[in-house]
Structure formats: structure tokens, C-alpha cells
Chains A and B, each alone.
Chain A
């Protein structure tokens, strides 16, 4: 079977195709990556919020990276309600202690994990939030309890710079 032996022509053909493919990929990648968040978008990555005016039982909504962030100063009943929930009852089990390090303050992205709508305050079957788009109910810890959303509302990276200021991001 002499035809099966690799010839110079076959080698050149394979080598040319391989180099061509690498070259094409090198050109395609910048075309794809240009659509990812650019430097100016990434530069707006953190924001500081003054929360001194917020009284218990109220929510402040601020914009961070184009998304609303809920800052909730919770009442004692809300904290108790969130902390007594059994893990087995949760769709996405997370302890309230882990979500709100300082129990009085709940900071999370006000974005429904289903398809990204902004849930409404003090609504729904669990006294937390209710998403009007497709009917997801969240509890007083922002955890999903009922409806199509798969996850709890996300807690972003944040810290208290001082007693009155929260830095998000």
C-alpha cells in the first residue's frame, strides 16, 4: 500500500491547514472579546453609600454596576423570621448568618435570579420580596422560597467603611 505513505504534499497540506487555523483563531478572538466589559465599565466596580438615614424596616436601593442593590435595615422580627427557617425548607440552602454578617443589615443585588427583573419590597408570601415578572417569592433574607428563580438573591462583596458608610464592590 504505497499510496498510504505520507508524502511531502500531505505534510505541507496538514501544516498549512494547522497554521491557517491558528491564525484564524488569533484573528477571531479579538473580535469576540471586544464584546466583553471594557476597561471603563470595569473601572466603575465599587461604590460607597451613606446609610445613616436608613431606619429599621426600610430599604435603600442604590445603583452599582448598572444593577440595583438593596440595602435593608431589618427589624428584629425579620431577623428572627429569617433565622428560624429550617435548611430543608430552602430551594437554595444558605444560612441567614452567612448572608447578613451584621444581622441588622442585609445587602444584596436587587436582581431576581430567574430572568433579572427587580423584585418588589415587602411583598410576597414570605414577607420579603416578590418578583412581578414571573412570580418568584423571596424571604426576609432574600432567599428564594417559591417560583421559577433557582437561586437566592446574590450578596455582593461589601464592607462597612465606618458606622454610616457601606462600600459595595
Chain B
């Protein structure tokens, strides 16, 4: 950790810091020693913070114009789009911001999977991350209900009905969630309240996530423990701040492309039809970021087991640090795991694709195979791999492979011997 005997330079600063050590905290954050080999996959933490703040600010401004009532919600959203000054911009940033948030969080999660960032001593960081991810899904789902279009209404109906799969108390829980006998005005008002609340819960968890990160410090592409501060680290400011800032700019270009050039491409046309409890749209599909789990739900022909499979697919991630038995973190030194990693990436993408297709024929078959493989990866392949895999030699420091010009020590040694 950074030095604790930090003293502010100015008299006023010292007076304030003795009473509330905020400046010590700021000093810790700027001096925070960071591994010097962090690549661009490590910039998504900062990008996600940006996404959260963007969603909170645009959300607050939208809430000033939105009316949470079943008779007026749809019109109030159109009012925002047509009448409110820059309402279209704020709403498109908020709606596409949700997609951008999930895009970034998926990259962040898969970076963690590749470099083994979830392993000891970072399990708590990882579990807090999974809770944040769950809350994000809840917030996104409830936010999607608010415009009160056809997809809002029927999405809400299908998702809340998942709870009816619980034996005995299921129906009672669903009625309680709805505040009635179907999704209706009481459901809308409570979803609005919770949609407003959850981002602030996420904000609190982000603080814990970063706090827990700052205890062991960042993992790095080589995945070894490093001394801090040392030759292997650089201060967070300015090195990481500049790198994060540049990556954020690149990300914002993608973000702006969606907002300004194709703001509706990630949505569904059906949601521009006002909610109608008498007619279900021909093809109900959740937002793209929930599709893999939707595919898992539909691939099981039993209602309760389908719901259990879908929830397990998410919750299995929470116990990942104990399912992966390998002591080596980074996939760079795990030749077999690296291949299984990419198969998992492909598997999740396939699940996402079939989740968007009708659940029949070949699509259903593919969904079933992909679902089985998903669980196989976590429950069988990862635990066994830790014992069977022959890993490559891991360098002793970050500097060693960097000077050799390759993250792979064997190659680095070869190069060095050639130079000699």
C-alpha cells in the first residue's frame, strides 16, 4: 500500500486531513502501485465506472420527465422523445448506455476468466463483482419495463412468472411481486422505484469492489504476485489514468456510434407498440445481453428445472474460485486452459445466438448441447484441468519476460540465447 505517513503540504490541508483523512485517501489512489504490464483489457474497470455514472446522470434527468403510471408511461416516453429539450439524446444515451454497460462488463468478466483474476487472494473482489452483475441484470430488466411497450409488458410477465416455478409458494410470490393478478400499474410503480434504487446499491458495491482490489492490488497479464512498490509497478497516476482515459475515448466512439447512427438497432420494434395484455407478440426475445441465459432456460423441457438451470448458470460463477483447481492464474502459462477458454467464449456466443432464435428443431438441439457444455466447462473441465494440465514455467517477475520480449518464458529464454 502507499505510504501512510503522508502529510498534506498546506496548513489548511493538514488541518482538514487531521479531522477527515480524505487527502490521505486521494494520495493512496494516485500513488497506488500498479503492475506495469497491464494491457488494454484492464481498462474496462474505469470504463464501467464511466458507464455507471452515465446511467445515473441520464437516469436522474429522465426521471424528471417520466410518469410511472400504466396509462401514461408510454406517452411520457414519447413526450421525452419529441417534446423535452434534448430528451431524445438523453433517452438514447440511457437506453444504449445499458447495452454498452453490459458489453463492457462481459469483456471485464472474460478478462478475469482469461488471466485468472478470480483466484486467491481475489475471491471477494470476484464475488462482489458477480453480485454487481446480478444487480445490473435486475436494473436492466426493470428499466426495460418502464416504457410500457409490448416487449416491456410481456418481458415483465415472462420474467416474473419464472418465480411461479417455485413449488408451493411460487404463485403467491408472483402475485406479491405484481401487486395484483397480472402485470399492471402496481407492478410498474414498484419497478420504477427499484430501478431508481439499484444503481445506488451498485455504486456502494463498486466502492467495496475497488476497496477489496486495493488490498492485494491488481492481477496482471503474467498472473504472478509482485512486490509493491517495486521495479514491477508504476503509480496509478499518471500512467494508468492516461491509459484508462485513452481506452475510454475509444469506447465512447463506439458508444456515440450507437447513440447517433443506430439508436434502435439493439432494441425491438415491438416496444414502440403500447402494452396490451390481450395480445402477446409473436416472438418474445429479451435484450441481447440476457440471451445466453434465456437459451439455457428454454433448452430444458421442464419449467422448474429450466429456471434452476438458468440461475445456476449465473451462480456457478460465484464458486468459480474453488472450481478452478489450478494454482497458475494466467492462461498464458496454461496451454490447455487457453483452448478451453476460447471454446467457452464460442459456447456463450452460440448460446446467445440460439437464444434469439425460435426454440425448435436444430436451434433447440444446439442450445441443449451448448448448455451441457457450459456446465461441463465449470463442473468437470476446470476442476480436472488443475491436476492434469502441464503448465509452462512462470517468470519470477514482470520485468523478466518484458526484457526477453515475450510473456512466454520459454520463448523469452530462446530469444535471449539467440542474442547471446
Q: Answer whether residue A77 sits at the interface, using C-beta atoms and an 8 A cutoff.
A: no
Q: How many residues of A contact B (CB 8 A)?
A: 25
Q: With a CB–CB cut-off of 8 A, which chain B residues contact A150? A: 302-304
- Interface members, chain B 173-189 (any A CB < 8 Å): 175-184, 186
Among the listed stretches A11-19, A20-28, A46-54, A114-122, which one makes contact with chain B, having 4 or more residues with CB under 8 Å of it? A114-122
- Interface members, chain A 28-84 (any B CB < 8 Å): 32, 35-38, 41, 61, 63, 65-68
10 residue pairs bridging A and B, Cβ less than 8 Å apart: A37-B179, A37-B186, A61-B278, A66-B184, A116-B157, A116-B161, A132-B281, A132-B282, A148-B298, A148-B306
Q: With a CB–CB cut-off of 8 A, which chain A residues contact B302? A: 148, 150
Q: Cβ of B284 and Cβ of A135 under 8 Å apart?
A: no
Q: Cβ of B277 and Cβ of A68 under 8 Å apart?
A: yes
Q: Tell me which of B164, B280, B302, B359 has the highest count of chain A C-beta atoms within 10 A of its own C-beta.
A: B280
Q: Give the number of residue pairs across the A-B interface with Cβ within 8 Å.
A: 84
Q: Answer whether residue A168 sits at the interface, using C-beta atoms and an 8 A cutoff.
A: no
CA distance A32 to B302 in the complex (A): 30
Secondary structure at chain A's binding surface: helix, strand, loop or mixed?
loop
Q: With a CB–CB cut-off of 8 A, which chain A residues contact B182? A: 65-67
With contacts A37-B179, A63-B278, A131-B280 known, what are 14 further pairs, Cβ within 8 A? Answer: A38-B179, A41-B181, A41-B186, A115-B162, A116-B157, A117-B157, A117-B158, A117-B284, A118-B277, A132-B281, A133-B154, A134-B298, A148-B303, A150-B302
CA distance A116 to B154 in the complex (A): 8
Task: Give the size range of B's interface with the partner.
Answer: 35 or more
B277-316 interface mask toward A, CB cutoff 8 Å, 1 = contact, 0 = none? 1111111100000000000001001111010000000000
Q: Cβ of B278 and Cβ of A115 under 8 Å apart?
A: no
B contact residues vs A (CB 8 Å cutoff): 154, 157-158, 160-162, 164, 175-184, 186, 190, 277-284, 298, 301-304, 306, 358-360
Q: Answer whether residue A149 sits at the interface, using C-beta atoms and an 8 A cutoff.
A: yes
CA distance A115 to B174 in the complex (A): 11
Q: Cβ of B176 and Cβ of A35 under 8 Å apart?
A: yes
Q: Cβ of A65 and Cβ of B181 under 8 Å apart?
A: yes
Q: Which of B179, B279, B283, B359 touches A41 (beta carbons < 8 Å)?
A: B179
CA distance A150 to B175 in the complex (A): 19
A86-107 interface mask toward B, CB cutoff 8 Å, 1 = contact, 0 = none? 0000000000000000000000
Q: Cβ of A118 and Cβ of B280 under 8 Å apart?
A: yes
Q: Cβ of A132 and Cβ of B180 under 8 Å apart?
A: no
Q: Cβ of B181 and Cβ of A134 under 8 Å apart?
A: no
Q: With a CB–CB cut-off of 8 A, which chain B residues contact A131? A: 280
Q: Cβ of A63 and Cβ of B277 under 8 Å apart?
A: yes
CA distance A128 to B160 in the complex (A): 26
CA distance A36 to B178 in the complex (A): 8
Q: Cβ of A135 and Cβ of B277 under 8 Å apart?
A: no
Q: From residue A23, how far is it (CB to closest CB) to chain B in Å?
A: 23
Q: With a CB–CB cut-off of 8 A, which chain B residues contact A37? A: 175, 178-181, 186
Q: From residue B327, how far is it (CB to closest CB) to chain A in Å?
A: 42
CA distance A61 to B281 in the complex (A): 16
- Nearest to A112 among chain B residues (CB) is B280
Q: Cβ of A117 and Cβ of B360 under 8 Å apart?
A: no
CA distance A96 to B212 in the complex (A): 62
Q: Cβ of B179 and Cβ of A66 under 8 Å apart?
A: no
Q: With a CB–CB cut-off of 8 A, which chain B residues contact A115? A: 157-158, 161-162, 164
CA distance A65 to B175 in the complex (A): 12
Q: Cβ of A36 and Cβ of B162 under 8 Å apart?
A: no
Given A37-B181, A38-B179, A41-B186, is A149 in contact with B158 using a C-beta cutoff of 8 Å? no
Q: Cβ of B280 and Cβ of A35 under 8 Å apart?
A: no
Q: With a CB–CB cut-off of 8 A, which chain A residues contact B282? A: 132
Q: With a CB–CB cut-off of 8 A, which chain A residues contact B176? A: 32, 35-36
Q: Cβ of A35 and Cβ of B284 under 8 Å apart?
A: no
- Nearest to A114 among chain B residues (CB) is B303
CA distance A116 to B279 in the complex (A): 12
Q: Cβ of B179 and Cβ of A117 under 8 Å apart?
A: no
Q: From residue B171, how far is it (CB to closest CB) to chain A in Å?
A: 10
Q: From residue A144, how far is it (CB to closest CB) to chain B in Å?
A: 11
Given A115-B162, A148-B301, A148-B302, is A38 in contact with B186 using a C-beta cutoff of 8 Å? yes
Q: Cβ of A67 and Cβ of B181 under 8 Å apart?
A: yes
Q: Cβ of B277 and Cβ of A35 under 8 Å apart?
A: no
Q: From residue B68, how far is it (CB to closest CB) to chain A in Å?
A: 15
Q: From residue A57, how far is it (CB to closest CB) to chain B in Å?
A: 20
Q: From residue A69, how far is it (CB to closest CB) to chain B in Å?
A: 10
